[in-house]
Amino acid sequence: MNNVSIIVTCGEQQTQLRQLLPQLLSLRYGGEYEVIVVDKMHDKDLEEWLEEMEVQHSCLNHTFCPASSRGLDIQRLALTLGAKAANYEWLVILPVDVKLPSEDWLLDLSKCCGEEVGVVIGLTKRKSRWSWFRNIFRRPFSIFNPTSSIILCKRNILFKSQTLKLSNCHIVKL
């Protein structure tokens, strides 16, 4: 069982985050996991709520994108900050509006982890955007824009600029 860091980025989707976070904090998983929320807007109300939640849940951490970074690709920066804050090698990247399929989805996803595997894509019931999926093999940084999938990847995959091989990727229907 691999220990994982779950990264969720949030901009103006605070309502979705307030629904998702309790689900993430009550997962059934045999290994250790942490949840890292990256606030792209640096909202004071959200920060206060997250600080209250952190007191109750030791596996929850949060960070934010500084206001001076508005000229950068904010999603890419948010995921980079989340990856740098992560304590574990395996990272789960979730869109804030994802519908989690069950309390065991993380266990199902992590069963595919191994030395030869770099990325595991868990397809949810949402409509998949296959053009994004195809691009992940040509441009690994397209992993920074998950729109219809739950991505589990090794930390170093996010920072590589080389092309991924199909043999290093597994697809799991959740």
Strands (E), 22-168: 33-39, 60-64, 90-94, 119-123, 149-154
> Which residue ranges make up each domain of the chain?
4-173
pLDDT band for 70, please (50, 70, 90 cuts): low
Distance CA 21, CA 19 (A): 6
Classify domain 4-173 by CATH architecture: Alpha-Beta Complex (3.90)
- Above 70 in pLDDT, residue 144? no
Q: Count CB-CB contacts under 10 A for residue 45.
A: 8
Contact 35, 88 (CB under 8 A): no
Lowest mean pLDDT, pick from 9-23, 44-58, 88-102, 152-166: 152-166
The predicted model scores a pTM of 0.81
What is the pLDDT averaged over residues 127-155?
53
Paired tokens of 66: 């500084």
When mean pLDDT is compared across 6-10, 28-32, 73-77, 136-140, the lowest value belongs to 136-140
Contacts of 97 (CB under 8 A, 6+ apart): 13, 16, 20
Query: Residue-wise over 107-140: b if at least 16 C-beta within 10 A, else e?
Result: ebbbebbeeebbbbbbbbeeeeeeeebeebeeeb
Strands 90-94 and 60-64: unpaired
Residue 135's pLDDT is what?
43
- According to the model, what pLDDT value does residue 19 have? 93
Q: What is the chain's mean pLDDT, rounded?
A: 78
Distance CA 152, CA 111 (A): 11
**Sorting pLDDT into bands at 50, 70 and 90, what band is 25?**
very high
**Cα–Cα distance, 143 to 153 (Å, whole number):** 9
Exposed/middle/buried for residue 141 (C-beta within 10 Å: 0-12, 13-18, 19+):
middle
Residue 15, pLDDT > 70, answer yes
Q: Extract the tokens encoding 62.
A: 């949060």
Q: CA–CA separation, 63 vs 173, rounded Å?
A: 31
Tell me the helix, strand and coil percentages in the chain, rounded to 5. 40, 25, 40
